[in-house]
Structure 1
Amino acid sequence: MKFHALITSFILAFCCIISAQEKEYKPVKFPKGYTSQLDVVYKTVNEWEGRIDLYTEQNAKESTPILLNIHGGGWNHGEKESQSGFGSFFKNGYAVANVEYRLVDVAPAPAAIEDVRCALIYIYNNAKELNIDTNKIVIMGGSAGGHLALMAGLLGNNSIYDEDCTYKGEIKIAAIINKYGVTDLVPLAKWKSAKRWLGKNYLDAEFTQSVSPLYYVTEDSPPIFIVHGDADPIVPYSQSVKLYEALVNNNVVTEFLSIPNGKHGKFKNEDKKLFRTKMWQFLKELNLSNF
């Protein structure tokens, strides 16, 4: 019995070590001339502090474009430190803001939207100090992060979820990169992650629409690049189809890269390369590069 107990303890300890290792993410590599500011507090709610990692080129001769990146995780898990693949943005002269937001165990919807809007407003309010060109703000996210990127950008000057933060000027995003994000929560309201995030309001169609990007598409919406695998087992491919159709119907500049047999972000290497190529073609056609 003692031997079995010893083995069990060893297994549990080993699993804990592995779990801890999984949380140890590699630091973001940034070019010479850039400055990193980690865990900058952009917002405080009760005891929760919203933090953002900033990688900026403050001594650049001209103000720089910036990527506002939002991690995914079904609104219930994930951390900004898991995001590190910003190399192509640095090469194209971008600063990067990597954002964390309240997960559902801290606060349900619309808290995460309020947070990413505050992070965006923080960039606007500190643009001069950070040497940011506010005419070249790009927001990107995958899965739940894609949903939040769309909400942050499509809301524009609509301050419905800006109670905690204010900006006196115009909020106009240059482009949104939506990677297989949720666009319409109404048909997904009973989906486990969505139901949990929506909380007691999950059957309230009016509220659910108010936190769904699809319902904010207008002819004034920013350009949007969409990528989605047509075999996605988590976020239905139809979510991106509906968004793309709404954008086209409103004459919004958009491109939809469909990945044949693509799963939920798990694309083949050649598909990942195609995504990067197409995305940068899209951004450069919008003059959203310093090179």
Structure 2
Amino acid sequence: MKGLLVFFVMTTLAFAQSQFPVDTSYTVKSVYDKIKKDHPYISYVPTQKYENVIEKKEIVYKKIEDRALHLDAYFLKEKKRNPAIVILHGGGWKSGNKSQMETFAIEMASKGFSCFNIEFRLSPEAPYPAAIFDVKKAVQYIKEKAQEFNVDTTKIAVLGCSSGGQMASLVGTTNGKNIFEKTTNNDKYSSKVNAIINIDGILAFKHPESAEGKAASFWLGGSYEEIPRIWEQASPLNNTDKNTPPVLFINSSIPRFHAGRDDMIAILNQNGIYYEVQSIPNSPHSFWFFNPWFDETIKYTSQFLDKVFK
């Protein structure tokens, strides 16, 4: 309970300190209140503290004029280069914040991964593709500071939940594609990632299985009818090719959050790219926040990364 109280205080402070439009509709508590009606057995996951895990928070990785973007880092004290996980929160591209993934990051760090919870610009502040540029810049920053954070720069995964899953998949499927690389001549490090973990995020915006409408339009800058090219461009499915890294899909039992997954798998199969699908029966969206699904999500994530990285 103490850990949960600290989490809520941190989240409140993050909202209070922001100088930009903030949508607070997506919180761990709001999700809990919503899904507990159909899943009365769920419980919060207490945040563990490990003596061998270092925590460094509110690190500025990017500035846009007076706007600073931050990340929180969690990594082992032992001086050894470990695989890294860049973690993107959910919230319909308009809400949520990096602290929501702290419990997840700490747990993965304890298993030997350098983890980074990333702040990125949400749709009330800046539309697509700003957030994608932010995440790619964060990857470059992590590579630049690899020695400080004990990171093996050849083993970087990008992981996202819900809308963060869509973003993570887009970041990973656009490795090296110039249109998605907002770089300068001073950039010494690439934004390439080596694995994708998509936790219940859609792979295509305009798809028979997709139900994303208003939230997608807000982030993408208009409806499909108004800007079809942008909707297609922002869909990871349309960027999947022979250069896509290994992918882990962890899915709830709600079909609309799998939109485009099977089509993407077909492309991965055609190109001999490794992937895994882990579906959690009778689970709601945002299952990763709560018991009894948290441990299962951690297990699938660590097993996949151990297979492709270690």
Q: Give the structure-2-normalised TM-score.
A: 0.76
Equivalences for 1:191-270 in 2 at 5 Å? 191-200=213-222, 202=224, 203-232=226-255, 235-266=256-287, 269=291
- Residues 160 and 198 of structure 2 are in contact (CA less than 8 Å); yes or no, is this contact kept in structure 1? yes
Q: Secondary structure of the residue that 2:230 maps to in structure 1?
A: helix
Deviation at 1:29, TM superposition (A): 4.9
Cα RMSD of the aligned pairs, angstroms, is 2.9
Structure 2 residue 135 is matched with structure 1 residue 116: yes
* Segment drifting more, 239-248 vs 178-187: 239-248
Q: Report what 1:90 is aligned to.
A: 109
| Whole-angstrom distance in 2 between the partners of 1:236 and 1:209 | 17
Deviation at 1:135, TM superposition (A): 1.3
Q: Secondary structure of the residue that 2:260 maps to in structure 1?
A: helix
Q: Report what 2:303 is aligned to.
A: 281
| Whole-angstrom distance in 2 between the partners of 1:256 and 1:191 | 26
Deviation at 1:160, TM superposition (A): 2.0
Q: Report what 2:160 is aligned to.
A: 141
Which of 82, 85, 94 is matched with 1:64 structurally?
82
Q: Secondary structure of the residue that 2:232 maps to in structure 1?
A: helix
| Whole-angstrom distance in 1 between the partners of 2:166 and 2:229 | 17
Deviation at 1:54, TM superposition (A): 1.4
Deviation at 1:33, TM superposition (A): 4.1
Gaps of 5+ in 1: 1-18
Identify if the C-alpha distance between structure 1 residues 248 and 230 changes in structure 2 by more than 3 Å, giving closer, same or farther: farther
| Whole-angstrom distance in 2 between the partners of 1:190 and 1:143 | 11
- Residues 135 and 172 of structure 1 are in contact (CA less than 8 Å); yes or no, is this contact kept in structure 2? no
| Whole-angstrom distance in 2 between the partners of 1:88 and 1:79 | 18
| Whole-angstrom distance in 2 between the partners of 1:27 and 1:176 | 26
| Whole-angstrom distance in 2 between the partners of 1:21 and 1:168 | 34
Counterpart of 2:243, as a letter, is D
Q: Secondary structure of the residue that 1:134 maps to in structure 2?
A: strand
- Residues 228 and 240 of structure 1 are in contact (CA less than 8 Å); yes or no, is this contact kept in structure 2? no
Deviation at 1:156, TM superposition (A): 1.4
Deviation at 1:87, TM superposition (A): 3.9
Identify if the C-alpha distance between structure 1 residues 170 and 76 changes in structure 2 by more than 3 Å, giving closer, same or farther: closer
Greater gyration radius: 1
- Residues 73 and 143 of structure 1 are in contact (CA less than 8 Å); yes or no, is this contact kept in structure 2? yes
* Segment drifting more, 223-232 vs 269-278: 269-278
Identify if the C-alpha distance between structure 1 residues 241 and 109 changes in structure 2 by more than 3 Å, giving closer, same or farther: same
- Residues 67 and 95 of structure 1 are in contact (CA less than 8 Å); yes or no, is this contact kept in structure 2? yes
Work out the number of aligned pairs and report it.
Answer: 267
Structure 2 residue 204 is matched with structure 1 residue 184: yes
Q: Report what 2:16 is aligned to.
A: none
Q: Report what 1:100 is aligned to.
A: 119
Counterpart of 1:241, as a letter, is D
Equivalences for 1:140-179 in 2 at 5 Å? 140-163=159-182, 167-179=187-199
Counterpart of 1:237, as a letter, is H
C-alpha offsets along residues 25-80 of structure 1, whole Å, 9 cap, x if unaligned? 999655334433211111122332211111234x5332122111110100100111
* Segment drifting more, 247-256 vs 29-38: 29-38
| Whole-angstrom distance in 2 between the partners of 1:161 and 1:45 | 17
Structure 1 ranges of 4+ moved more than 4 A: 19-22, 24-30, 267-272
Gaps of 5+ in 2: 1-7, 14-27, 29-44
Counterpart of 1:23, as a letter, is T
Identify if the C-alpha distance between structure 1 residues 279 and 75 changes in structure 2 by more than 3 Å, giving closer, same or farther: same
Deviation at 1:170, TM superposition (A): 4.9
Q: Report what 2:12 is aligned to.
A: 23
Q: Secondary structure of the residue that 1:78 maps to in structure 2?
A: coil
C-alpha offsets along residues 156-188 of structure 1, whole Å, 9 cap, x if unaligned? 122323325664455542321100112112335
